Amino acid sequence: MTAAVSLQNVHKVYNNIPVVNDLSFTIQAGEMFGLLGPNGAGKSTTIRMLTTLTKPSGGRIEVAGFDVVRQSLQAKQSIGVVLQQISVDGDLSVWENMEMHGRLHHIPKQYRQQKINQWLEYVDLAERRDDLVKTLSGGMKRRLQIARALLHQPKILFLDEPTVGLDPQTRRRIWEIILDLNKQGMTMLLTTHYMDEVDYLCNRIGIMDNGKLISLGTLQELRSAHGQGLVMKQVGDRLEYLFFPNLEQANAYLDQQVDKTGMMVRPSNLEDIFVELTGRQLD
């Protein structure tokens, strides 16, 4: 079976500085893949290459079986993109934004109008169809971006920090939409800084740092690899983390300590692993 997304030894260099460095991984159809990494790790650049917005300096990228450089048109037709910065036009109405995207994709009029109605309903924006986009809230604009990205029936959806800057309730609504689309069979790659977002949404996670993939697997696989039990230890004014294969071994370590002041055992989580790997917090 063809992978939905495949990167082989991908490099990207800006002004002689490597920002993506020998990146290789694949995403199978139907997966919900989370790409994590501290600021500057190269996540957005990776998404920009995957979505044909910038060309790789080396290596090979395929989406839906199409090479993003040699078959960029077919690749573009197979994907939907929701970028971090709000890319809808504030001076056009909700409907006009959808209409423009539909025309750019040469979707025939009758079918286009039916699909615009369907997706605006889906993201709860049908009643705002004639309003100028600049009058919408941040969450509504994000939902419009998602509806627009779905209009041409893509197989794969790329979301760059889909809930950044949104209030908790609005984030929940976006999560529900993302989960539901994935249940319907849509393959997704999303970048995020939020651990709860990864927990809630992603089947598999890739962690990037300095342009490289430094860890790849399910949350359970990452926890098994790095240690499922954690001892937190207060050393001066900072916390030290000690990983153990499981909670029993973490507890056994604690039991052996004569002075247990400032020490605590708990299961490890993605944030602990992220900090251990990158030396930085998630956000």
End-to-end CA distance of the chain: 36
Residue with smaller CB distance to ligand ADP, 112 or 193: 193
Residue with smaller CB distance to ligand ADP, 187 or 192: 192
Q: Is 49 in the site for ligand ADP (CB under 6 A)?
A: no
Spell out, one character per residue from 2 to 31, where the chain touches ligand ADP: x when CB under 6 A holds, - when not: ------------xx---x------------
Q: Is 111 in the site for ligand ADP (CB under 6 A)?
A: no
Q: Is 40 in the site for ligand ADP (CB under 6 A)?
A: yes
Min CB(215)–ligand ADP separation in Å: 15
Among residues 36, 43, 62, 201, which is the contact residue for ligand ADP, using CB under 6 A? 43
CB 205 within 8 A of CB 198: yes
Stretch that binds ligand ADP, among 25-33, 42-50, 71-79, 85-93 (CB under 6 A): 42-50
Stretch that binds ligand ADP, among 40-48, 87-95, 219-227, 237-245 (CB under 6 A): 40-48
d(C-alpha 109, C-alpha 115), whole Å: 10
- Chain residues in the site for ligand ADP (CB under 6 A): 14-15, 19, 37, 39-45
